[in-house]
Amino acid sequence: MKLFTKSNYMNPYIAGVGLGLVLLAAFYVSGNGLGASGAMMRTVVIVEKVISQAHVDSNIYLSKYGGGDKNPWDAWLVFQVIGVLVGGIISGIFGGRMKVEINHGPKITKKRRLVFAFLGGGLFGAGARIARGCTSGIVLSGGATLALGSWVTMVCLFIPAFGLAYFFRKNWI
Amino acid sequence: MAPLVHNLGHSSHTDAFLAFLIGIGFGFFLEQGGFGNAVKLAKTFYFKDMTVLKVMFTAIIVAMTGLIFMDQFHMIDLSLIWINPTYLWPGIVGGLIMGVGFIVGGYCPGTGIVGLVTLKVDALFNILGALVGMAITAEIIPFIYEWWTGSLIGKRITIPEYFDISPGIVGFLIILIALGLFVFSEVMEKRSGHKE
């Protein structure tokens, strides 16, 4: 088994072992799993606090993150995501992938790709808030702890991704 | 006994620094796996490049097996570990919406972040979309709060507890499923002429 593929990515099984050990280390050190979307939500609340603290206080969901004097960024997850930024850059330099580009299927324009990227992101963000986590917090972390709801959400996430793939094939292949 | 944060008594600064280091590892392996490229991610859903399934399920079974063994050897107190709560319907609906978002946008939040820092413009648009989507959803949740906090099956319920099967057996079955997915992935990639 080679450590790197011809296109300079790490062998997926080895990258998976690395990722699994990082996840295990997170549980071992802090008791937390890995996450991503929670830090994005906290960033949204930071912006909303600047615009209107009263609005954050009056919303039962937003106030959990940033009600009153609460600093939404004062959270384990936020520091972990700052690490993700750095780790991604290190790996990108290492793999020669630090390049300004728009990745899309051969049959669509860059503009169409950006529109769909935005819309897809919006849906993913909405779903992550409703499900209380995303692929990192639910599928990876909840998958490893065998959390019942995480496995339900994992299955539900893959059904439309595979099931609707045919209708979005132009975007990708 | 782990988790260390509960008995080392170290400061919140140390805890934040450890979170930062763990995050570096997370971002590194996500990007190394190829998760910074939305086309590579999306090709999984056409059975052309199964990297996502391979990396994800390998990571899950490695961490899961580690937790099961550490528990057996009393190296970790699982009652202090974060277990995702099970709210059935929000979990189902949220999962379905995320799945649509995945095939439309190509990234999830974590992969979008490694795409962004490796300068993928589509990742930037994806993250901006996610922030807007979250802001809108945060305005909707108060109106569906009863539904959103209803259908709670358990705050910390796991598959072994729910079905009353030992974690070792559940873990073993999940490893078998993962191995089956790996074989399936290799066969599909060969059929579609994917070479790495």
Residue A24 lies inside a defined structural domain of this protein? no
Give one DSSP letter per residue of A119-143, joined into a string.
Answer: HHHHHHHHHHHHHTS-IIIIIIIIH
- In this complex, the residue of A6, A100, A120 whose CB is nearest that of residue B129 is A120
Average pLDDT score, chain A: 96
What three-state secondary structure class fits B3? coil
Query: How many domains does chain A contain in total?
Result: 1
Interface of A with B in 19-38 (CB under 8 A): 19-37
Going residue by residue through chain B, which has 196 residues, state the pLDDT in tens, using 9 for 90 and above.
788 876 666 667 888 999 999 999 999 999 999 999 999 999 999 999 999 999 999 999 999 999 999 999 999 999 999 999 999 999 999 999 999 999 999 999 999 999 999 999 999 999 999 999 999 999 999 999 999 999 999 999 999 999 999 999 999 999 999 999 999 999 999 998 776 5
Interface test with A, best of B5, B17, B24, B32 (most A CBs within 10 A): B32
pLDDT score for B195: 61
CA distance B180 to B196: 20
Residue A22 lies inside a defined structural domain of this protein? no
pLDDT tens-digit series, residues A80-94: 999 999 999 999 999
Report the candidate in B45, B64, B47, B18 with the shortest Cα–Cα distance to residue B108.
B45
Interface test with B, best of A65, A99, A145, A158 (most B CBs within 10 A): A145
Whether B110 and A34 lie within 8 Å, measured CB to CB: yes
Q: What is the mean pLDDT of residues A116-128?
A: 98
What three-state secondary structure class fits B86? strand
Residue range(s) defining the domain that contains residue A130 = 102-173
Residue A157 lies inside a defined structural domain of this protein? yes
Element (H, E) at B23: helix B12-33
- B181 by Cβ neighbours in 10 Å (0-12 / 13-18 / 19+) ranks as middle
CA-based diameter of chain B, in Å? 54
CA distance A88 to A66: 28
Q: Across-strand partners of B87?
A: B152
Residue A94 lies inside a defined structural domain of this protein? no
Residue A1 has pLDDT above 80, yes or no: no
CA distance A64 to A70: 9
pLDDT score for B7: 65
Contact of B188 with chain A, judged by CB distance below 8 Å, is answered with no
Q: Which amino acid is at A89?
A: I
Q: What is the mean pLDDT of residues A125-135?
A: 97
CA distance A20 to B143: 38
CA distance B175 to B35: 23
pLDDT score for B192: 87
CA distance A129 to A137: 11
b/e map of A36-55 (b: 16 or more CB within 10 Å)? Answer: bbbbbbbbbbbebbeeeeee
Peptide bond before residue B109 is cis, with ω within 30 degrees of 0: no
Residue A25 lies inside a defined structural domain of this protein? no
Residue A6 has pLDDT above 80, yes or no: no
Report the candidate in A92, A141, A10 with the shortest Cα–Cα distance to residue B54.
A10
- In this complex, the residue of B59, B90, B195 whose CB is nearest that of residue A140 is B59
pLDDT score for B61: 98
